[in-house]
Amino acid sequence: MSKILKIIFVILLLVTAGELGYYVYFQAVRTPREEKKQTTSSSPIPTLFLKEIKNNPNAVSIKSVGDEIQYLKEMHEDGVLLSSAVNTQYKGSIIKIERKEGIVPYNNFKYSAIIVLRGKQKNFDFVLSEEELRLSKIYKIVNGEEKEISFDDLKVGDSISLDWSFGAYVGFNSRQTKQIKIIKQ
């Protein structure tokens, strides 16, 4: 009986040693190739940075563009932010264009011209104040070069690209347009 117990003990010892070897080979020691595979699939944001945000009760949580603009506005009012600009680019076909004075109802923005561009599923309005019309540079592509034209040269059906740069911290109630460039294709 003692001989059978010794054999079972040796078998269990060999199985345990095999499991330990398996663990060391596949879990504890990684080849550089396996490490490279693991790091390329990880998040592009450093974990340390995420931990700092999570552990900092004063960290600002930005959830939307509106939050970002509000945060920039607060920084500007507190003297930290000196300037900031948002550069937006649009492209579409004009379905309505006119010089017409009006007021945007939800923010009382006074405009002097309107351009409506057709998107894939919806139409989008762009209203410009008199000052923004003066800031606008409008071009037509002729033989591969930009030739300056006027706002009145734009017509329904024209395909345009519109580059608009404005101060980010002022929000949409009183925007601070820096530059508008319209290119008729």
pLDDT of the residue at 81: 79
Same-domain check for residues 135 and 107: yes
Residue-range definition of the domain harbouring residue 51: 44-82
Residue environment code for 163-176, b if the CB has 16+ CB neighbours within 10 A, otherwise e = ebbbbbbbeeeebe
Lowest mean pLDDT among 28-42, 43-57, 92-106, 149-163: 43-57
For 122-166, how does the pLDDT look when each residue is reduced to its tens digit (9 = 90+)? Answer: 999 888 889 889 889 999 999 989 999 999 999 999 999 999 887
Same-domain check for residues 126 and 180: yes
pLDDT of the residue at 85: 75
Same-domain check for residues 120 and 99: yes
**Look-up of token digits 């057709």:** 118
pLDDT of the residue at 109: 80
Same-domain check for residues 73 and 38: no
